[in-house]
Amino acid sequence: MSDIHTPQAGDDRAPDVDVVALLMRQHGDIRNLFDEVEQSSGEERRDAFRRLVRLLAVHETAEEEVVHPFARRALPGGEGVVKDRLAEEKEAKESLAALDGTDTDDPQFLPRLRELRTAVQEHARAEERYEFSHIRRHADVTTLASMARAVKAAEAVAPTHPHPGVESAAANLALGPVAALMDRTKDVVRKAMGKG
Amino acid sequence: MSFNPLEQRGIPLDRQVRNWRELNVEPIDPDRCDPYTRCRVITMNGIEVEAILFSHQLARHTADPEIKRQLARVRYIEAQQQKVVNWLLPGVSSVLETTIAYEQVAVDLTAWVARMEPDPYLQQAYQFGVLEDFDHLYRYANLYEMIEHRKAESIVDNLTEVMPGRPTRFHHRDAYDNVRDPYDRHAVNPLSKLHALTIMSAEQQTMNFYMNTGPTYMEPIARQLYQEIGLIEEEHVTHYESLVDPGETWWEQLVNHEYNECYLYYSFMEQESDPKVKAIWELHLNMELEHLRVACDLMRRHDGREPQEVLAPELPNVLTFEPNKQYLRELLATQMDLTTLGAGYVREAHERFEKMQEQIHGGEAPPSDRVMAGHDEMFGREYRVQSEGEHPDPAMREK
């Protein structure tokens, strides 16, 4: 791999006025973190995996709170589309649970990580094809932008990438508090969507 | 090498039809496959698509219903081969990811053919074209990072460098200057015929792919970039197809097609790293041997000639996917500023070229430039993979 670093969504200079473009870039960020976990070892892998879990948690929560409700309401057949996505998310969460508690140096870790990666990737593409494309068709620019703001607000709950000075605090956030993190993310997103 | 397709027995045609279970192949893993396995898949898809389209054209020029039926039987099998080959591509890949793989094919296939081509005029045609595909790879790679936040090296895996080639805006030439002179079918090395057919087929499939998938994008810059590069693929098909001697009879062309399919399946079988894919190359080779036998019979019957008169006495060296970094760097250092004039090449922009440039750009930056500006706005840099050092052309180094 080259030493060029792709910043995470929110850290690039994209205007982020379109929730779909933002989430698609986050899908790439998630894949990049999977690469990082696979290609590192020891403490570095543990750290990369923590960041991956946090980004997954925040990303999925934001989608559940922001994108799926809109799709359910606004898309013809939206109920069914969202139901399929939630089933995929459930599968991904089960893969994640299987990883939970496995040490990143355990020989079982990488095969399980790959299962998770496959589940997450299939889910992400299905969202892009069967949900996001319809959202762009049915949402006006104001809605796309306000949903983008809500997703970005969720990201601020738990930094999912190293920020100078907060590294050690972030490092403490192991797999345990993922459920709590999801709850906090939900609160922030609901506030941002004006439903606090 | 001792493999002579004319002396081998293939699978009888009536045993070649596959059922749904056999057609339902397991796709390659997008994140962990050998990038050159994906390149071989894309190449063979292009070859099978050409086989099908050529056979349809031949059938439309054939009056005898029995011959039409014979062509239809083989063509149906070819359609199944195309399905099996192209369905090796995974559904989770985005169009842009497949596009980057198409450009890796265009770069490493064309560069290898240029290295091996014995005829200097044909070799120049491949050298000229490859620097354009090389630039397309760079533009799409930058678009990819913008839309998906992913690096093209996760697809091409450092086997192929990603940096500017001949700038895409200069690929738009007057169509008059896209037609080359054909080789002489009596004098040319039989290997040259296979090269021309292979590269023409690959570029044709790239043209088909962009013209159909480009509008599936919603991002304006993506739609526009596919439109621009799609038009250049049209120029490339014109460029490469004009190398083929139009004096070859239909039956001679059919024999050349089938022989080339044997050559490529044999080549890829020899080098394939994925055992499941290797088994497909082997099976398809054994099918093609029979298609070749049928084509040879048709040629004997209708042209009254022996296929050996137009074919090589044995298969040439296997066509190989491998890095061509140093070769491409030599071309980048010496051939960036070429354009075409009539059937040849010049270094100066001439009147017809200038006029076309004015017409198509209409005083504005083309999508291939705007994608770089957009990328710079987002990241404050370009995306490149220069594993072998700085760009050989100082003017093309990143500022």
List per-residue pLDDT tens for chain B, 399 residues long: 578 999 999 999 999 999 999 999 999 999 999 999 999 999 999 999 999 999 999 999 999 999 999 999 999 999 999 999 999 999 999 999 999 999 999 999 999 999 999 999 999 999 999 999 999 999 999 999 999 999 999 999 999 999 999 999 999 999 999 999 999 999 999 999 999 999 999 999 999 999 999 999 999 999 999 999 999 999 999 999 999 999 999 999 999 999 999 999 999 999 999 999 999 999 999 999 999 999 999 999 999 999 999 998 888 899 999 999 999 999 999 999 999 999 999 998 999 999 999 999 999 999 999 999 999 999 999 999 999 999 999 999 988
Residues 65-84 of A with CB under 8 A from B: none
B399 occurs within a structural domain: no
Cα–Cα distance between A173 and A178 in angstroms, integer? 8
Q: Residue B161: list chain A partners with CB under 8 A.
A: none
Q: How much is the pLDDT for A164?
A: 41
Whether B153 and A14 lie within 8 Å, measured CB to CB = no
Using the Cβ of B387 and the Cβ atoms of chain A, whether some distance falls under 8 Å is answered with yes
Is the CB of B213 inside 8 Å of chain A's CB atoms? no
From the list A14, A26, A128, which residue is nearest B378 (CB)? A14
Q: Which residue of B has its CA nearest to A8?
A: B149
Question: What interhelical angle do B190-213 and B250-271 show, nearest 10?
Answer: 80
Q: What is the phi/psi pair of residue B308, to 5°? A: -55, -25
What distance lies between CA A174 and its chain's CA centroid?
17
CB pairs A-B closer than 8 Å: 63
Asked, for residue B47, whether it belongs to a domain, the answer is yes
How many domains, chain B? 1
Coil vs helix vs strand at B166: coil
What is the reported pLDDT for A162?
A: 47
Residue B272 domain-assigned (yes or no): yes
Q: List CB contacts (< 8 A) between A13 and chain B.
A: 377-380
For residue B52, being part of any structural domain is answered with yes
Phi/psi at B228 (5° precision): -65, -50
Residue B278 lies in a domain: yes
Place of tokens 């296997």: B318
Nearest CB neighbour to A136, from listed B149, B218, B387: B218
The reply to whether B147 falls in a domain is yes
Give the pLDDT of chain A (196 residues) as one tens digit per residue. 567 899 998 889 998 899 999 999 999 999 999 999 999 999 999 999 989 998 998 899 899 999 999 999 999 999 999 999 999 988 888 888 778 778 999 999 999 999 999 999 999 999 999 999 999 999 999 999 999 999 988 887 765 554 444 433 344 444 446 777 778 888 888 888 876 4
Choose the closest CB to B148 out of A14, A25, A133: A25
Q: Where are the alpha helices (DSSP H) in chain B?
A: 20-23, 35-60, 65-86, 95-116, 120-148, 153-156, 190-213, 220-241, 250-271, 275-303, 325-334, 351-361, 367-379
Q: Does B380 touch chain A (CB under 8 A)?
A: yes
Mention every residue, 6+ apart, whose C-beta is less than 8 A from residue A134.
A71, A75, A78, A81
Quick one: which H or E segment has residue A126?
A: helix A109-126
Partner-chain contact B379 A13, CB within 8 Å: yes
Q: Dihedrals φ, ψ of B32, to 5°?
A: -125, 0
* A158 three-state secondary structure: coil
SS3 A80: helix
Residue B129 near residue B240 (C-beta atoms within 8 A): yes
Residues paired with residue B385 on neighbouring β-strands, in sequence order = B162
Integer Cα distance of B59 and A106 in angstroms = 61
User: How many other C-beta atoms are found inside a 10 Å radius of the C-beta of residue B221?
Assistant: 17
Taking the mean position of all CA atoms in its chain, how far away is CA B241? 12
- Two tokens at A181? 């993190």
Whether residue B203 lies inside any domain: the answer is yes
**Residue in the block written with tokens 């790293």:** B273
Q: Predicted ipTM?
A: 0.90
Angle subtended at Cα B372 by Cα B368 and Cα B377, rounded to the nearest 5 degrees = 145
For residue B162, what are the domain limits?
Answer: 5-394
State residue B131's pLDDT score.
Answer: 98
**Angle ∠(A164,B399,B392) on CA atoms, nearest 5:** 120
Tell me the nearest-neighbour CA distance from A12 into chain B, angstroms: 6
